[in-house]
Chain A
Amino acid sequence: MKLYDGGKILIGLLVFAAIATFPFYYNIGKVNAKPEPKLDTPAILQLPEQERKCVESKTFMRTEHMQLINNWRDSVVRDGYRQYVSITTGKHYNMSLQNECMRCHSNKKKFCDECHNYMAVKPYCWDCHIAPKEDDKS
């Protein structure tokens, strides 16, 4: 069997393969970099080691924070209940994204955006809520 213009076809195939797989080479190592939300804000560092706890446990907050915040919002806006009693600690919290969550997590870019960008989710919290001021050094 004879392959007419074999050289051109093979080169063409190679070029095609190179272009088609380019995104994979290009992103090797980059995309897989795990997001690492930072917890080193001044407000958190000020707390003694044992009290550096979020409203609920870390694992819970990781997977359920959106649901929790949604429920906080409904509770405050619609029912007028503003105090949250933590299941894990029994402590009371003021249910407010802007005034309570961000009091500790004042680093929106390194805390919220770090994972949200990685997961390509775009919550619209900050269309209305005012994020704490941050330096643009990152």
Chain B
Amino acid sequence: MSMDRRKFLKLAGISSLLGLGATAASASHNVWVKGLEPPQVEPNKEALKAEHWAMVVDMSKFKTEEDFQKTISACHTTHNVPDFRNADGTVDIKDEIKWIWKAKYEHAFPDQENPYMDEKIKEMPFIVLCNHCENPACVRVCPTQATFKRKSDGIVMMDMHRCIGCRFCMAACPYGARSFNYRDPRPFIKSENKEYPTRTKGVVEKCTFCTERLAFGKLPACVEAAPKGGLIFGDLADKNSEVRKIVETSYTIRRKPELGTGPSVYYLIGGNEHA
């Protein structure tokens, strides 16, 4: 039997229509294939919500070494961040994993270099962490979308399940906020937080503004542990929020704003009195 062109096209059209109909029907039957959408899933009722989470670091509140250590270790114990320090306190910089750490002024703000600046500020360690940029370079380069910017609140998140360990994001991040797991981190976690996963060898990790705590109505771990008023966390889009008021009324600086990443962490260096 031979078939002319017209007949063939008709038949092909009809069968593709039927085929499409069949896949559409099966997709609507099986919610699991599509993924979960409301109303089958809901956000937590107690979750803290914002349009643009941001942080103000008031350096005047960090006075002693203990203030820094308390803040950093609160984060690192909560998130099972491994400690690769050797017995003598040295650490192979390549291996080091850090979510929040201390940096010297010249490293935190290299664009603000000034040979005659206040000796105190020059030598002062600064608290640095992921800036949760408005225009994050890491997200742009990630080939698997393992790191992404949450549309709801601007947090730059990591999906460890998707990370293939290519480290493009580390090269892209101008703040050095990302660390790669060159070694299995598990044996180097001093005290495990059983409610939070660890990471595995071969993934990149960084600060997530404690999304897992915000979801249960809690402020980030570092904010809670920092000296009072040292770290202020809030919604920059909300005119009445504390962070917005500080940024509007005091002189704050951000790390490398000239790169156009739009960092969401602001530094208050002079240290005006506020709440």
Return the contact of A78 from the options B43, B148, B194, B200 (Cβ within 8 A): B148
Q: Is B115 an interface residue (CB 8 A)?
A: no
Does the CB pair A82–B44 fall under 8 Å? yes
Does the CB pair B161–A72 fall under 8 Å? no
Q: Is B13 an interface residue (CB 8 A)?
A: no
Does the CB pair B41–A84 fall under 8 Å? yes
Q: Is B138 an interface residue (CB 8 A)?
A: no
Q: Which residue of B lies closest to A97 (CB)?
A: B197
| Known contacts A83-B42, A98-B197, A128-B200; A67/B159 CB under 8 A | no
Return the contact of B42 from the options A64, A87, A92, A129 (Cβ within 8 A): A92
Per-residue contact bits, chain A 64-86, to B (CB 8 Å; 1 contact, 0 not): 10011001111101111111110
**What's the Cα separation between A99 and B157 when bound, in Å?**
20
| Known contacts A67-B32, A74-B35, A85-B39; A80/B211 CB under 8 A | yes
- A selection of 26 A-B contacts at a CB cut-off of 8 Å is A71-B35, A71-B36, A74-B35, A77-B159, A77-B161, A78-B148, A78-B157, A79-B41, A80-B43, A80-B153, A82-B41, A82-B47, A82-B215, A83-B41, A83-B43, A84-B41, A85-B41, A85-B42, A87-B31, A87-B40, A124-B200, A127-B200, A128-B198, A130-B80, A130-B198, A132-B194
Q: Is B150 an interface residue (CB 8 A)?
A: yes
Q: Which chain B residues lie closer than 8 Å to A74 at the CB level? A: 35-36
Give me the interface of B with A, judged by CB distance under 8 Å: 31-33, 35-36, 38-44, 47, 80, 148, 150, 152-153, 157, 159-161, 192, 194-200, 211, 215
Contacts A128-B199, A129-B197, A129-B198 aside, 13 further interface pairs with beta carbons under 8 A come to A71-B36, A72-B36, A78-B148, A79-B41, A80-B150, A80-B153, A82-B215, A87-B31, A95-B41, A98-B197, A127-B200, A130-B194, A130-B197
A95–chain B nearest beta-carbon distance, Å: 7
Does the CB pair A85–B40 fall under 8 Å? yes
Q: Which chain B residues lie closer than 8 Å to A99 at the CB level? A: 195
**What's the Cα separation between A60 and B157 when bound, in Å?**
31
Q: Which chain B residues lie closer than 8 Å to A79 at the CB level? A: 41
A58–chain B nearest beta-carbon distance, Å: 16
**What's the Cα separation between A82 and B33 when bound, in Å?**
19
Does the CB pair A98–B42 fall under 8 Å? no
Q: Which chain B residues lie closer than 8 Å to A67 at the CB level? A: 32-33
Does the CB pair B194–A98 fall under 8 Å? yes
Does the CB pair A81–B41 fall under 8 Å? yes
Q: Which chain A residues lie closer than 8 Å to B194 at the CB level? A: 98, 130, 132
**What's the Cα separation between A68 and B41 when bound, in Å?**
12
**What's the Cα separation between A75 and B201 when bound, in Å?**
24
**What's the Cα separation between A77 and B145 when bound, in Å?**
12
**What's the Cα separation between A130 and B196 when bound, in Å?**
8
B29–chain A nearest beta-carbon distance, Å: 13
Per-residue contact bits, chain A 106-138, to B (CB 8 Å; 1 contact, 0 not): 000000000000000000100111101000000
Closest 7 CB pairs of A and B: A81-B41, A83-B42, A127-B200, A128-B197, A67-B32, A71-B36, A129-B197
